Amino acid sequence: MLAPLAGITDLPFRNLVSRFGAGLVVSEMIASGEFLTARPGTREKAELGAQIENTSVQIAGREAEAMGEAARMVADMGARVIDINMGCPAKKVTGGWSGSALMQVPDHALKLIEAVVAAVDLPVTLKTRLGWDDGSINAPELAARAVGAGVQMVVIHGRTRCQFYKGRANWQAIRAVRDAIDVPLIANGDIVGAGAANAALRASGADGVMVGRGAQGAPWKLAEISAALYGTPMPKIPQGFAFYDMVSGHYEDMLSFYGAVLGNRVARKHLGWYMDRAATPRALRQRVLTEKDPKRVLSLLQDAVAPEWEQAA
């Protein structure tokens, strides 16, 4: 499964990952309060693709009524699965008592979960961390209460909120959640390849894995892990011109989705990861990432990510 990553797992990237093969892709987090007050056009744009079969839409917030209403609106937009975010560690999220901050107030967190489950006739899932800090590891308790309220799958990132993304994910600590619930459990954190995925499954007892940063610059990563673990078809990892074709297609999809100016700016992080993979020379990389003309970016990318193809031509 593809983890929700703010500013990264937008519709163009989710579509690209899905073309290679993914069990489930999760949208960027929707802040329920802002979602309810957004202009209609903005709202639809934020969740374009909610109706796609393998897509889960993630919502966050701190008020039960707003969470329930946001869930209903997302369901009306065609969502198939709704995920509740109680794992985001970002200060701008936790400062508003959303995301992983809710693990500090499990009684209130449960009210939000109950509101979402009651609002929709859809599968509802929950994503958390192990706890707020090392002194308050309460994911097993919260997960059990969430399942009791109707949550049908739980995803655990094997770090506390106060760890952010430092250190190593503690997959073994997720096993306590496995012992506490009888619905599918997904392990998340530091799963960058098949070896890590296999180790996470063994340590945690989870039923599956969620990949986040491991898919950056490698949209085939989920399918590659699935092939190694479960014998599904191995994806064809693009090389040379095929790699350029994939990168340029992703870039053009982002231009179409966001518009030329914003799309060019938002795409830079993805282009940077692709150029990391291609070992693009530093000077050329800088030219790509500072160029404002999309046509010129596409021209530069030929040399930046597929120089051997250019030589062959």
pLDDT by residue for the chain (313 residues), tens digit each? 999 988 899 999 999 999 999 889 998 888 888 888 776 654 454 544 666 778 899 999 999 999 999 999 989 888 899 999 999 898 889 888 899 999 999 999 999 999 999 999 999 999 999 999 999 999 999 999 999 999 999 999 999 999 888 889 999 999 999 999 999 999 999 999 999 999 999 999 999 999 999 999 999 999 999 999 999 999 999 999 999 999 999 999 999 999 999 999 999 999 999 999 999 999 999 999 999 999 999 999 999 998 765 444 4
Cα 36 from chain centre: 22
58 labelled binding-site residue: yes
Which run of H or of E encompasses 85?
strand 81-86
d(CA 33, CA 61): 7
193 in Cβ contact with 221 (< 8 Å): yes
Phi, psi of 306 (to 5 degrees): -145, 55
Task: Specify the pLDDT at position 47.
Answer: 46
In a domain, 60, yes or no: yes
- Structural domain contains residue 126: yes
Q: What is the pLDDT of residue 94?
A: 87
Question: 185, 177 in Cβ contact below 8 A?
Answer: yes
In angstroms, rounded to a whole number, what is the distance separating the alpha carbons of residues 10 and 52?
A: 13
Q: Are residues 200 and 265 in the same domain?
A: no
Count structural domains, the chain. Answer: 2
| Cα 217 to the center of its chain, rounded Å | 14
Per the structure, the complete domain to which residue 27 belongs is given by 11-230
244 and 226: one domain? no
**According to the model, what pLDDT value does residue 50 have?**
63
The per-residue pLDDT for 312 is 41
**254 and 127 belong to one structural domain:** no
Answer yes or no: 88 catalytic.
yes
Q: How deeply is 95 buried, as exposed, middle or buried, from its count of CB atoms within 10 A (0-12, 13-18, 19+)?
A: exposed
Choosing from 230, 261, 282, the residue where a domain stops is 230
Closest to 81 in 3D by CA, of 184, 151, 11: 151
Set 46, 79, 88, 181: catalytic member: 88
Residue 298 and residue 159 share a domain: no
Q: Among 182, 206, 230, give the residue marking a domain's end.
A: 230
235 inside domain: no
In this structure, is residue 4 part of a structural domain?
Answer: no
Rounded Cα gap, residues 16 and 212, in angstroms = 14
Report pTM: 0.91
* pLDDT value for 311: 43
In a domain, residue 27? The reply is yes
Residue 83 parent element (H or E): strand 81-86
> Are the C-beta atoms of residues 291 and 260 closer than 8 Å to each other?
no
At 129 the pLDDT is 96
Q: Do 154 and 88 fall within a single domain?
A: yes
In a domain, 6, yes or no: no
**Residue 127 assigned to a binding site:** yes
d(CA 91, CA 113): 22
The answer to whether the annotation marks 213 as part of a ligand binding site is yes
